[in-house]
Structure 1
């Protein structure tokens, strides 16, 4: 086994997820994470993943996350692979002591994989 490659992919999976894995968790009824929409409140109102909370990355602070459980994983997402709001949210949440994963592909790939949006 190539240890360098192994560490690379293990590190990726420690901090990233995808729409299919999120959907499986949501549909299982045993979802163990908070799904956070890091886009603007307007974008969230226009359609978001089921169960997601809206917290635009620019608004993330100790005050805005005070009700969040630091023992619970937060999965961030934004619009698409071309959007970095989810990564910015992950950075801010990490600075505040939360465990975070980014859902790659965002809303765009959620829909491409057949996921529906809620309004």
Structure 2
């Protein structure tokens, strides 16, 4: 079977290309900027694990911006509990402005980590948001701390993370 590539300009009516893609230069600038603002759950987990097991400093402070009830339910071991509403009054006592901050909240359907990152940036902190929040931390099978102690699920959710490797290949 031979396939040919249509190089003629044709109008697109489907939603994917209704707005055309950005130029390669604009796309590169956007995605480079995105990486400056976001951290991947598995990258954060690798840094947290290396810190805990090997004593290697992660190079950032991890902030859980959720409520106390949510924090008690489960949080990333080693995270600092700083709800967004308390940032103005407590950030300077809990965080070092010389060390970048990574914020997280519930998950992709919640913008609490974004609001927390904004509040910290406005106070002079260098900050990133952990994509996926605690939801994807748990779904990828990483350990959480609860009021009952540390625990983890039996494995990564096979629909959201690799099940046969620690590396997704990206």
What TM-score bracket applies, with the shorter chain setting the length? over 0.9
With normalisation by structure 1, the TM-score equals 0.94
Q: 2:50 aligns with which of 28, 34, 42?
A: 28
Q: 1:45-93 CA deviation, whole Å, 9 max, x = no partner? A: 11100101111101111x3112321110110000110111100000000
Secondary structure of the residue aligned to 2:85 is helix
Answer 1 or 2: higher relative contact order, Cα 8 Å, separation at least 6.
1
TM-score calculated relative to the size of structure 2 = 0.67
Q: How many residues align?
A: 118
Gaps of 5+ in 1: none
Report deviation, 1:19.
0.8
Return the alpha-carbon distance in structure 2 between the equivalents of residues 71 and 44 of structure 1: 25
Instruction: Please tell me the root mean square deviation across aligned C-alpha atoms, in Å.
Output: 1.2
Match of 1:114 in 2: 141
Partner of 1:81: 108
- Counterpart Cα distance in 2 of 1:74 and 1:81: 19
Task: Give unpaired runs (5+ residues) of structure 2.
Answer: 1-22, 147-170
